[in-house]
Amino acid sequence: QKEVEQDPGPLSVPEGAIVSLNCTYSNSAFQYFMWYRQYSRKGPELLMYTYSSGNKEDGRFTAQVDKSSKYISLFIRDSQPSDSATYLCAIGGVTSGSRLTFGEGTQLTVNP
């Protein structure tokens, strides 16, 4: 079983839709959670960082963490064609130092 599971998609939505991206993890030692966006042939770009259960909002993006269920989500409101990319969840923990464990990424396409 992988430590972090993420539905690889692909996911295709119309412009303006609400997008929900999800990951589950198995190790309760994980303590902080990130979402990265990766455009084709580019390095991952950090979108959201959180370390507690609950919601964190930044513009059109909301990250949600439920540590009791080991479940994290990223919601994108009013999605735009420029949001078309691969979204990666990344999780880190006390014993792993800076090491991040990534989901395999969800490929999102927002159609105009």
Partner 1 sequence: KAGVTQTPRYLIKTRGQQVTLSCSPISGHRSVSWYQQTPGQGLQFLFEYFSETQRNKGNFPGRFSGRQFSNSRSEMNVSTLELGDSALYLCASSFLGYQETQYFGPGTRLLVL
User: Which residues of the shown chain bind partner 1 in the complex (CB under 8 A)?
Assistant: 31-32, 34, 36, 41-46, 49, 51, 88, 90, 92, 96-105
**Closest CB to partner 1 among residues 76, 103:** 103
CB of 43 to partner 1, least distance (A): 4
**Closest CB to partner 1 among residues 42, 77:** 42
Phi, psi of 82, deg, nearest 5: -70, -10
CB of 2 to partner 1, least distance (A): 9
CB of 11 to partner 1, least distance (A): 17
**Closest CB to partner 1 among residues 49, 75:** 49
d(CA 72, CA 25): 8
